[in-house]
Amino acid sequence: MKVFVCIKQVPDTETKIKIRADGNGIDATGIKWVMNPYDEFAVEEAIKMKESGTASAVTAVGLGPKARVSEALRTALAMGADDAIVIDATEDMDSYATAKALAAAIKAEGDGKFILTGKLAIDDNQAAVSQMIAEFLGLPHATVVSKLEYGDNQVTAEREVEGGTREIVQLTLPAVVGANKGLNAPRYASLPGIMKAKKKQIKEIALSALDSNAGELRVKFQDYQLPPEKPPVKVIQGDAAQTAAQLVKLLREEAKVI
């Protein structure tokens, strides 16, 4: 069974975000790009499937400006993916257009049986692409998956939902799964892995080659603003008993939240 892993590149969590002069996006200069943390769980899972013989081959698929997205794909190749596909597109693709292009690229490969993604990307936090790929390909999906077991033409997924409740769902293959933390412990790329990755192929696809409406957006994010400055903290002084009493009073009378 061939496995596809979809990968997004996101700004490193420590990166300071600056808003672009036109206000409709962030200033990309100086940003350190990394693989979306949840996608690391997806890549690790795919490689483990190959190591255990469940998967025959692993293809990493990414979308965005090809030069930088290829770096994240190289990381996946260094971790152990067999080959990769980069769909060259602008920065501002929405979930819909992204999922549509990824679905089309995977479909064109013909033999996909299992598709892994992260449960969400930490940049826009939309949590939409995984389910949309499934819909565009007519496949079942499960998101927020922290455990997978592979059976005959089906996969059993454990998803963590509200209040610590877990749902156990069975999907008939082919299927799409969005990985959550806890699914596995992603490996670091080894030095030999990095060397090997240099020789592996990254196939380039132009967005326009997928379908004529491929870049048509549904949602744009505009008018970016920094959050309003918080007033400085009110420090409560005194011994433990005094501070506890004063805090309760402030929460009741000033903040009025209790």
Partner 1 sequence: MSIVTVFTEFTNGQLKKGALELLTAARSSGNKVQAIALGSGAGRIADQLAQYGVDEAFLGDNAAFDDYNPEIFAAAVAQILEAQKPAIALASSTMLGRDLFPRVAARLKTGVASDCTELTISGDGVQARRPMYAGKCTAAVVFENSPVKMVLMRPNQLPAGTPEGKKNVVVHQVPTPTLDLKTLVKQIVKGASEKLDLTEANVIVAGGRGMRDAASFKLLHDLAEVIGATVGASRAVVDAGWVPHGMQVGQTGKTVAPTLYIACGISGAIQHLAGMSGSKVIVAINKDASAPIFQKATYGLVGDVFEVLPLLTAEFKKLLH
Ligand X SMILES: Cc1cc2nc3c(=O)[nH]c(=O)nc-3n(C[C@H](O)[C@H](O)[C@H](O)COP(=O)(O)OP(=O)(O)OC[C@H]3O[C@@H](n4cnc5c(N)ncnc54)[C@H](O)[C@@H]3O)c2cc1C
> Which residues sit at the interface with ligand X, rule CB under 6 A?
13, 37
Q: How far is the CB of 189 from ligand X (least distance, A)?
A: 17
From the list partner 1, ligand X, none, pick the one residue 216 interacts with, judged by a Cβ distance below 5 to 8 Å according to partner type.
Answer: partner 1
Q: Tell me whether residue 66 or residue 187 sits nearer to ligand X (CB atom).
A: 187
Task: State how far the Cα of 143 lies from the Cα of 151, in Å rounded to an integer.
Answer: 19
Q: Tell me whether residue 21 or residue 240 sits nearer to ligand X (CB atom).
A: 240
Q: Tell me whether residue 194 or residue 250 sits nearer to partner 1 (CB atom).
A: 250
Task: State how far the Cα of 148 lies from the Cα of 177, in Å rounded to an integer.
Answer: 9
**Cα-based distances in Å from 188 to 43, 80, 102:** 11, 10, 26
Q: Which of residues 86-125 bind partner 1 (CB under 8 A)?
A: 94-96, 99, 122-125
Task: State how far the Cα of 42 lies from the Cα of 14, in Å rounded to an integer.
Answer: 22
> What does the DSSP 8-state code read for residue 163?
G
Q: Tell me whether residue 55 or residue 103 sits nearer to partner 1 (CB atom).
A: 103
Nearest to 84 by CA among 98, 70, 67: 70
Q: Does 20 bind partner 1 (CB under 8 A)?
A: no
Under 8 Å between Cβ of 5 and 46: yes
Which helix H or strand E contains 70, and what residues bound it? helix 66-79
Q: Which amino acid appears at position 75 of this protein?
A: T
Q: Does 179 bind partner 1 (CB under 8 A)?
A: no
Q: Tell me whether residue 123 or residue 216 sits nearer to ligand X (CB atom).
A: 123
Q: How far is the CB of 161 from partner 1 (least distance, A)?
A: 5
Q: Which of residues 133-172 bind partner 1 (CB under 8 A)?
A: 134-136, 139-144, 146, 156, 160-172
